Amino acid sequence: MRTVGKSVIRKEAWDKVSGTARYTHDFQFTELLYAKMVTSPFGHAKIISIDTSEAKKMPGVRGVLTGEGLPLIGEAIKDRPPLAFGKVRYHGEPVVIVVADTPALAKKAADKVKIQYEQLPVVNSPAQAFQKGAPLVHEQLGKYKKDEDSYPVPGTNIATHLKIRKGDLTNFWKDVEFTVEGRYSFNPSDHVAMETRCSIAEITREGRILITTSSQAPFMAKRLISQYFNEPEGNIEVHTPLVGGAYGGKASVQLEVLAYLSSKAVGGRPVKLWNSREEDMITSPCHIGLDAKIKFGADRNGKIRAAEILFLWDGGAYSDKAIDLTRAGATDCTGPYGIENVWCDSFCMYTNHPYPAPFRGFSHSELSFAIERTMNLLAEKLKMDPLELRRINAIRPGDLTPTQVKLNKSNVGDLPACITKLKELIKWEEGEVVPVNDRIVKVKGISCSWKTSTIDTNAPSGAILTFNRDGTINLMSGVIEIGTGTKTVLAQILAERLKMDVNHIYVRMEVDTQTTPEHWKTVASRGTFMGGKAVLEAADDVIRQLKDIAACVLRAPIEDLEVADSRVFLRDDPEQGVHFKEICYGYTYPNGNAIGGQIIGRGNYILRGLTHLDPENGKGKPGPEWTVTAHGVEVEFDRKDLTYKLLRAVSVIDIGKVLNEKAAKGQVMGAMSMGLAFAGRETFVMDELGRILNPQLRTYRPLRYGEQPEYMVDFIETPQLDAPYGARGVGEHGLLGMPAALANALSKAIGVPIYHLPLTPELLWRTREGLLR
Binding site for other proteins (CB under 8 A): 7, 9-10, 12-23, 25-26, 28, 104, 191-196, 242-247, 276-277, 482-485, 662-663, 666-667, 669-670, 672-674, 696-698, 702-708, 711
CA distance 494 to 492: 5
Q: State in angstroms the smallest separation of the CB of 194 from ligand FES.
A: 4
CA distance 428 to 444: 8
Residue 470 has a CB neighbour count (10 Å cut-off) of: 11
Rank residues 150 and 216 by Cβ distance to other proteins and give the closer one.
216
User: Which partner, other proteins, ligand FES, none, binds residue 598 by CB below 5 to 8 Å per kind?
Assistant: none
Helix ranges (H only) for 446-583 are: 486-498, 532-554, 580-583
* Separation of first and last alpha carbons in the chain: 54
Measure the CA dihedral 661/664/669/672, to 10°. Answer: -150
Residue 71 has a CB neighbour count (10 Å cut-off) of: 12
Measure the CA dihedral 80/74/355/274, to 10°. Answer: -90
Rank residues 613 and 730 by Cβ distance to ligand FES and give the closer one.
730
Rank residues 16 and 174 by Cβ distance to ligand FES and give the closer one.
16
> Which of 94, 182, 462, 483 touches ligand FES by CB under 6 A?
483
Residues 291-320, mask of contacts with ligand FES (x by CB under 6 A):
------------------------------
E strands, 571-723, where?
573-579, 585-588, 594-598, 600-606, 627-638, 644-654, 710-716
What DSSP designation does 142 have? G
Report the DSSP beta bridge partners of residue 434: 442
Q: Which helix (H) or strand (E) holds 386?
A: helix 386-393
User: Which partner, other proteins, ligand FES, none, binds residue 589 by CB below 5 to 8 Å per kind?
Assistant: none
What DSSP designation does 18 have? H
194 binds ligand FES (CB under 6 A): yes
Rank residues 194 and 436 by Cβ distance to ligand FES and give the closer one.
194
Long-range contacts of 694-701 (CB under 8 A, 24+ apart): 695/92, 695/277, 695/278, 695/281, 695/282, 696/277, 696/278, 696/281, 697/192, 697/277, 700/189, 700/190, 700/192, 700/281, 701/677
Rank residues 194 and 594 by Cβ distance to ligand FES and give the closer one.
194
Q: State in angstroms the smallest separation of the CB of 693 from other proteins.
A: 16
User: Which partner, other proteins, ligand FES, none, binds residue 771 by CB below 5 to 8 Å per kind?
Assistant: none
Closest CA to 361 of 283, 456, 444, 251: 251
User: Which partner, other proteins, ligand FES, none, binds residue 19 by CB below 5 to 8 Å per kind?
Assistant: other proteins
User: Which partner, other proteins, ligand FES, none, binds residue 230 by CB below 5 to 8 Å per kind?
Assistant: none
Rank residues 106 and 193 by Cβ distance to ligand FES and give the closer one.
193
Number of residues that bind ligand FES (CB under 6 A): 3
Alpha-carbon Rg for the chain in angstroms = 27
Q: State in angstroms the smallest separation of the CB of 16 from ligand FES.
A: 8
Residue 640 has a CB neighbour count (10 Å cut-off) of: 9
Q: State in angstroms the smallest separation of the CB of 194 from other proteins.
A: 4
Rank residues 19 and 609 by Cβ distance to other proteins and give the closer one.
19
Rank residues 483 and 632 by Cβ distance to ligand FES and give the closer one.
483
Q: Which helix (H) or strand (E) holds 380?
A: helix 364-382
Rank residues 335 and 483 by Cβ distance to ligand FES and give the closer one.
483
289 binds ligand FES (CB under 6 A): no
Rank residues 194 and 558 by Cβ distance to ligand FES and give the closer one.
194
- The 3-state DSSP composition of the chain as helix, strand, coil percent (nearest 5) reads 30, 30, 45
Q: State in angstroms the smallest separation of the CB of 16 from other proteins.
A: 3
Q: State in angstroms the smallest separation of the CB of 143 from other proteins.
A: 40
User: Which partner, ligand FES, other proteins, none, binds residue 706 by CB below 5 to 8 Å per kind?
Assistant: other proteins
CA distance 671 to 690: 29
13 binds ligand FES (CB under 6 A): no
Q: State in angstroms the smallest separation of the CB of 103 from ligand FES.
A: 14
Rank residues 245 and 586 by Cβ distance to ligand FES and give the closer one.
245
CA distance 216 to 522: 5
**Are 324 and 149 a contacting pair, CB within 8 Å?**
no
Q: State in angstroms the smallest separation of the CB of 573 from other proteins.
A: 41
User: Which partner, ligand FES, other proteins, none, binds residue 6 by CB below 5 to 8 Å per kind?
Assistant: none
Question: What are the Cα distances from residue 97, in Å, to 78, 164, 350, 417, 673?
Answer: 21, 43, 25, 55, 36
Question: What are the Cα distances from residue 253, in Å, to 52, 321, 487, 757?
Answer: 27, 10, 23, 28
What DSSP designation does 437 have? S
Q: State in angstroms the smallest separation of the CB of 680 from other proteins.
A: 14
Q: Report helix angle 364-382 to 661-680, nearest 10.
A: 70
Rank residues 153 and 194 by Cβ distance to ligand FES and give the closer one.
194
Q: State in angstroms the smallest separation of the CB of 697 from ligand FES.
A: 7
User: Which partner, ligand FES, other proteins, none, binds residue 707 by CB below 5 to 8 Å per kind?
Assistant: other proteins
Positions 213 through 272 that interact with ligand FES (CB under 6 A):
245
Q: State in angstroms the smallest separation of the CB of 622 from other proteins.
A: 28
DSSP letter string, 740-763:
HHHHHHHHHHHTS---BS---HHH
Q: State in angstroms the smallest separation of the CB of 98 from other proteins.
A: 18
Rank residues 18 and 593 by Cβ distance to other proteins and give the closer one.
18
User: Which partner, ligand FES, other proteins, none, binds residue 192 by CB below 5 to 8 Å per kind?
Assistant: other proteins
User: Which partner, other proteins, ligand FES, none, binds residue 667 by CB below 5 to 8 Å per kind?
Assistant: other proteins
Q: State in angstroms the smallest separation of the CB of 761 from ligand FES.
A: 27
* CB-nearest residue to ligand FES: 194
Q: State in angstroms the smallest separation of the CB of 244 from ligand FES.
A: 6
User: Which partner, ligand FES, other proteins, none, binds residue 674 by CB below 5 to 8 Å per kind?
Assistant: other proteins
CA distance 441 to 155: 52
Q: State in angstroms the smallest separation of the CB of 324 from other proteins.
A: 23
Q: State in angstroms the smallest separation of the CB of 6 from other proteins.
A: 13
**Are 612 and 620 a contacting pair, CB within 8 Å?**
yes
Rank residues 24 and 157 by Cβ distance to other proteins and give the closer one.
24
CA distance 421 to 650: 10
Rank residues 195 and 332 by Cβ distance to ligand FES and give the closer one.
195
Rank residues 87 and 191 by Cβ distance to ligand FES and give the closer one.
191
Let me know if 281 is exposed, middle or buried by CB neighbors in 10 A (0-12, 13-18, 19+): buried
What is the CA 770 to chain-centroid distance, rounded? 35
CA distance 150 to 433: 46
Residues 528-547, mask of contacts with ligand FES (x by CB under 6 A):
--------------------
User: Which partner, ligand FES, other proteins, none, binds residue 114 by CB below 5 to 8 Å per kind?
Assistant: none
CA distance 546 to 585: 10
Task: Put the strands of the sheet holding 561-564 in their side by side order.
Answer: 561-564, 567-570, 573-579
Rank residues 344 and 677 by Cβ distance to other proteins and give the closer one.
677
Q: State in angstroms the smallest separation of the CB of 245 from ligand FES.
A: 5
Which residues here bind ligand FES, judged by CB under 6 A?
Answer: 194, 245, 483
